[in-house]
Structure 1
């Protein structure tokens, strides 16, 4: 690709970030109670402190420093300091000892990271919801079916398992469903049927929707030492299924697996709508909303700004209020200009306003903000993606391609951290640009030659959050009212959070193909951001992705109230986004 686009200007990499000490303050708790004597240190330095009797602490650090929080019996927490880090409040959780993570001298036991690197070529490994199991060191026998042993003639897993393993009995069929008994129908213990661990998702319903040809590796666990971690539902044994996955898992027909189906749960309409969520609005906004006239609202604003002049959240709320409630764009922009000091120099604030501008179709204004963020954070992968996509919104396709390639160049020169999830999204966006706007970049006969292999067609959802400390749960409800959840938090996936921090990335994508047409509901539960402040979440929905008729819509949400499931929007693979 570079051979054909090298003529596009690649500006040299230069970060203007300088080491700048700042005081980090916060409170550490456990089970909602203050935690005293937590040791906080900066890794690879002699700087350390402890929390006081009320759980409070403060420590001097600089951007890129890694803070380590330690307390006996609780899991260690590592948090990277950023340019905007000032307050870090959070809860520590109980430590869960995992023997396969322990390194013993003279032992052949390997870490989870080592096993993950070996998985592709080591047939003795299986990925479970509780980590990777190695049959050579597991506390019992694991029976495998490898990819080359799987007969894809069968319709579902019931066909695949029938008469495959001694002592395993299959009841039912692929049409009406069935059960699998691992320990035998005549077992003295009268064991229940097996449960299933599919790509880390545990379910009790037999996954008859997964075709045998979509399975990469299958393992049967019937040893008590290996199934107890599944609790009482694992009493009948566990069948672990690792599907063939690249960026997303596919079924036998090449379609992405619907992970809402790979969860044994149904949506109960419990998420609150925006109308029900009205109580979450801050008091100042309720005061503005109660104004009967625009002049009254301006008087209220004049009084409020004296109190909230240091809060960019207030500035953005006031802008949004006058822009949408009274359609007064001039006054709304005046609010931004008069309070520029609160926004400038703060990447989180600038990105939040850029999100709002994009949702309003103010692409030039958003572009200026993304250029400012890039200047502040030239070592953040997100800066390159945001600026490239912003140039594309303005029709500046060569500039967009230059930003994608600049990021690629800096990775090759090892000037930026390379993280695979980041590269996947970057490559998909660049390939999409080449596919649809290649004539603007190179001669027509070269377009197909430089395109990457990306055959996804359907609806693409890309989420981005303004604060990298933000923690939340996204819930996707399919047209059959089954849901799938994705949790973004330190507790759920500390390695992922650290990877995002290292690379400076705060985006995630989800792909919906046309296998199941209808309305998909997207909800979110905000878990906080360690500073007790809101976070802005941007959702970009691409319809007919990868086709000539591709179009997109941008939605922005201010997440504030914690631990409440909130409806965001409904998306259909046939119609446009519908707000709640």
Structure 2
């Protein structure tokens, strides 16, 4: 009881305002993967108390992980905040926390719910407005968050050890669930408001504690769902009847599947996992002379400005995620009609089409929407947050309006042969990546008929693979085949939430996956972090230079090479084990990018280019990994390179001490024919051999020539003493 009084008294001092005051509060909600185990009940009760003390509040909700997912306004009146509460309950926790987009948030007060986990960038040093930083995970960066809150005239509140629920507002239901045959086990008992749930035991018994007035549902396959309103603590025995309806204690409600448009498909609203809003033809008035009028005021969080004296505002200029998060970027949403993108307006700076920068462009239309006849509209669906980005990637970050006409409705997923315009809805190309069918979660994913279904399968399988790094690597590659880079990046970034900054090997494997998928900006950010935490590891500097080059940052790559050459990285260990490879790569940079670097800063040695028919580079993330690499030439002769402590003791010691795991091979123009590379993985000298070692294989064709090309793949090795073919080359 003492803890309860502490929290309540804190609210009175810090949050109390008069009922006439219209307070502006910014609520920042961290939806990164590390927040999945937080105690949302405590956070909801925190907000219950907050809004009871501030009953009339204008709330700007910002949900974020890798980037801002949702930026929406909520008007709280007389302490009623159900719509905001439902939005928080429906949050999907996925991806890594990126704080860069949160530096300029404003409000009379900021409520920031986070654990402060810094994986790719730093938490803001302070806020210009008072901030209350709240965490319920028990894993927050407490000392740092306390300091930041204090500098921002606020307070850090750790709910993990506090009991803030007022007992008088809680009720407990318990009892036995049966059907006509007797007690039922594994019946799901779930509260609609808090989403607290339990299941009945083998005797059909259950017990659940929830907020007074909440609705409890009893669900079981093949039985009617029963709803009970919890008004007081009591014993409630339940009898479930056969059927597929939804019953409460007074009224029978027949089951009806509400179908919504998710982009070229009609889906069961209960199965898509997203919050969607739709209107039908019955919601469109004959007074709506254009589609903009039909939409205006119908969707929460969607804003359409009024016409001005000089310009008519088109529907394509709708604001779907707030208009204060991006000054330079486009803020307007996307419009898709019958599966085809028909309109996308750019509000960004420097998009005037005349090449000038820093000038706000005039409105740029792909196609206006004034030609759409409201009488021909069958339905309009508004997607926002993950519902929009999972379907349309970065095109959907500002929200998507899906317009279905009576003459071109979306399909229901059965025998449809309608062609979709390339670049709108991603389609899965099964030939791109060979899926490992022996992995149960991949077998389920490849059966998905659309990206929404695939995403929900991913969320379901993630529960069984919470800490499995390989799971996120494989699933991210799967979503790449849907053509959705947004999902690819977010799913990969979950690994940053799983491991600590000291887990060097896993982070190095992650950065290899970033590069394999051409996510070079993300790779550079992570390499910089790794260098900061592991300044002695020489391979990081070499890899950073390559990432800069691949990202088109040639001068930055040159600077890294020059610093290595001049021995300016004083904290780094000995580069001698890598120097041959680094010299080849610097010469390659100079030869192929003369116009993009500062030639006057290049020593003559590096201006002497080297060319090869094929260059093959093997890298491994565990520097003490042992393996047997077998190379078979076109004449079927082979040799084995034994990378073991027994055969290469000094080399393995150097690799471990100086921080590198790399070897390269060259094939000349005389060595035409089929080359085969097999590997037998022998494990690690230290560490857990149940954790995979990752090999990166990079093949350069025509190395050092103008027509140089590159192919790359990552191999996961965990089975010991098993010979695997990891590369086959046909040199012509």
Normalised by the length of structure 1, the TM-score is 0.46
User: Which of structures 1 and 2 has the larger relative contact order (alpha carbons within 8 angstroms, sep 6+)?
Assistant: 1
Greater C-alpha radius of gyration: 2
